[in-house]
Amino acid sequence: MKKVFRGTTIGTLFISLVSISTPMPTHASVMPTLKNYGSISIPSIGISAPLHMGIGDTSLAQGFGLWPHTALPGQKGNTVIAGHRTSHTHPLLNIDKIAIGDVIYFYTPMGTAKYQVIREQIVQANDVWITRQTRTATATLFACTPPHSTAQRYVVTASLVKFTAKKRR
């Protein structure tokens, strides 16, 4: 690559310019390394755990994972969250105890999103349609079911009640 000035390549300069003009993300993306994106609290089952970008082994071993290319919490679209039920920190051990009407809180760098559960269902392991985007702000949490099996997925769907943006300094 041709040098532009003092060891800076054209590629590095381009990446720097893109970084300056790139707005806050609007959806989760594939992350090559573990990146914390806040936390999730589900009071009805007594869980609060970190939220990480992506659904790789490292992310899910330490809490919840935000499915790549889905909406960020509090934004229009489907925020898809995966979590282990019986291994690692098992944040969704009691996913089947979450009831319609329960609340789920997302604490992120952008603000706090409060969702209310509107549906529960069991789907097949290959039913990736649960990750499809929606027209409204929705959160979809899922984990393997029954416990100690990967045969199916227990899915909880929630609708955004309120988003409180963090104040800029």
40-80: per-residue pLDDT in tens?
999 999 999 999 999 988 888 899 999 999 999 999 999 99
Please, which pLDDT band fits residue 5 given cuts at 50, 70 and 90? very low
Is the pLDDT at 34 greater than 80? The verdict is no
Q: Please report the domains of the chain, with CATH numbers, ordered by start residue.
A: 26-165 (2.40.260.10)
Side chain identity, residue 107: Y
CA 121 to chain centre: 19
137-163: per-residue pLDDT in tens?
999 999 999 999 999 999 999 999 999
- pTM attached to this predicted model: 0.80
Give me the pLDDT at residue 87, please: 83
∠ CA(74), CA(126), CA(60), 5° rounding?
50
Average pLDDT over the chain reads 84
Phi, psi of 128 (to 5 degrees): -75, 0
> Do you know the residue count of the chain?
169
Distances (CA, A) of 162 to 9, 72, 73, 167: 45, 14, 11, 16
Place of tokens 């979590």: 83
